[in-house]
Amino acid sequence: MSKKEKYLVVIPFFAGGAQGRELEYAVAGWRKHFKEDFKIILVGDYHLVVDTGNDIEFIKCERVPEPEPGNYRPHIDFVNKFKKVREKFPDSEGFIFVADDVYAVNDFDIYDVKVLKQQSDKLKVNNTSPWEREKEKTICLLKQHGYKTRNFTTHLPTWFEWDKLEELWERFDMERNSYIFEDLYFNIYYPDRVPFTLNFDRDNFKCGIYRQNPRWELVERALKTKIWIQNSVEGWTWRLNEFLAKYYGL
């Protein structure tokens, strides 16, 4: 990346999926802790946070219609939104993709983002939800083409190069056929790399909150031992809201 080029931090946003002030806290985390020159790109639905500074830009993009059966709408929607960003920034080398429920609580730089991270050596599914079925579909595609099936869906900020990602979109017609693009991207382009495997007790990257009653002493400890706190839909609570509001002073 050119030294003069700002890192693009791309946050796809669907207002109908927001549970509270997640996006505000996510943006506050980048501003407080990312030690690089960057611009946040909110693509999707409008949110008042885009009016809070010159370091954030909004690209309006309607959500895609419900796709054909067997496809997962959010992933096709991601491709559509990423393409809008590409159109706006055609000369950029790549971008950082991050969800709106990932909150930085300690300083980090681009090297922390680019570390190749995985959840596990194998993608495992229970086939009990649309997300699980999407995982299974992705595994089948990777196996069909002779690739490994490591689980790269970390739900952490992730760096993607446009050329590689666009090649995947075209190769697998991902505007119409949904797959988990993180798992395709890293298994296909980095087959021989040894990724760092996330482990709550040992890594300094993520404190994940996936239930209503987490161990709050571990969440509080994350302010000193982790770079990011992240929650699932089930993990969002009023207490987490208050915790983040206090931390960011919002």
Q: Quote the number of domains for the chain.
A: 1
Q: Does residue 126 fall inside a structural domain?
A: yes
Q: Does pLDDT of 124 surpass 70?
A: no
Q: Does residue 230 fall inside a structural domain?
A: no
The b-or-e profile of 63-96 (16+ CB within 10 A means b, else e) is bbeebeeebbeebbbbbbbbbbbbeebeebebbb
Q: Does residue 235 fall inside a structural domain?
A: no
Sign of CA dihedral 50, 54, 57, 58: positive
Q: Does residue 69 fall inside a structural domain?
A: yes
Q: How confident is the model at residue 121 (pLDDT cuts 50, 70, 90)?
A: confident
pTM: 0.95
Q: Does residue 189 fall inside a structural domain?
A: yes
Q: Does residue 18 fall inside a structural domain?
A: yes
- Percentage of residues in the chain with pLDDT exceeding 90? 90
CATH of the domain at 51: 3.90.550
Look at strands 228-231 and 117-118 and give their pairing: unpaired
CA distance 107 to 232: 23
Containing structural domain, residue 135: 7-201
Q: Does residue 116 fall inside a structural domain?
A: yes
Asked if residues 211 and 234 have their Cβ atoms less than 8 Å apart, the reply is yes
Q: Does pLDDT of 123 surpass 70?
A: no
Asked if residues 97 and 218 have their Cβ atoms less than 8 Å apart, the reply is no
Q: Compute the average pLDDT of residues 190-210.
A: 95
pLDDT in tens, 52-103: 999 999 999 999 999 999 999 999 999 999 999 999 999 999 999 999 999 9
pLDDT at 4: 67
Q: Does pLDDT of 154 surpass 80?
A: yes
Q: Strands (DSSP E) along the chain, which ranges?
A: 7-13, 38-44, 56-60, 94-97, 102-104, 117-118, 158-161, 196-197, 206-209, 228-231
pLDDT at 18: 85
Q: Does residue 192 fall inside a structural domain?
A: yes
Name the amino acid, one letter, at 143.
K
Asked if residues 208 and 200 have their Cβ atoms less than 8 Å apart, the reply is yes
What residues have CB less than 8 Å from 74, skipping those under 6 apart? 14
